[in-house]
Amino acid sequence: MEQVLERLSQEPWVRGSMIVSNEGMVVMDNVSAEIDRDAVSALASDLVTETTSALDEADMTAFTRIVLTATAGELVVVGCGSVYLVVIAAAGSEAFYIEIDSAARNLRRLAPTASLREL
């Protein structure tokens, strides 16, 4: 898992990434010290909860990806089994999404079988 985040952080667009549990806890991160991990994970957790409940109410299935795009960057949340991959990035491109999807696939392989303690 650490390697997945490490590889992602090599991408020039990526400013930080973390794995957040369904409960909103940071499981692992690869961000600089000046980033408030708790604040970002709380934000991602809020977004996930709100969106999931809105989709539920509309009788729609769970989401696989959320992208919030602003003028200065993006927040991407990808569902990976029992955890979410959260990426904070500069304005992205298709190549960027390919990298994120690849990281998410790797996490999906690990997350469903690994308990939080094992991570």
Question: Which residues contact other proteins by CB under 8 A?
Answer: 12-13, 15-16, 32, 34-36, 39-40, 43, 46-47, 50-51, 53-55, 57-73, 75, 88, 90-91
Run of H or E residues at 86: strand 83-89
Between 2-9 and 94-110, two packed helices, what is the crossing angle to 10 degrees? 170
The amino acid occupying position 60 is M
Q: How far is the CB of 25 from other proteins (least distance, A)?
A: 18
Residue among 90 and 119 whose Cβ is closer to other proteins: 90
Q: How far is the CB of 30 from other proteins (least distance, A)?
A: 13
Closest CA to 104 of 12, 20, 10, 15: 20
Q: How far is the CB of 26 from other proteins (least distance, A)?
A: 15
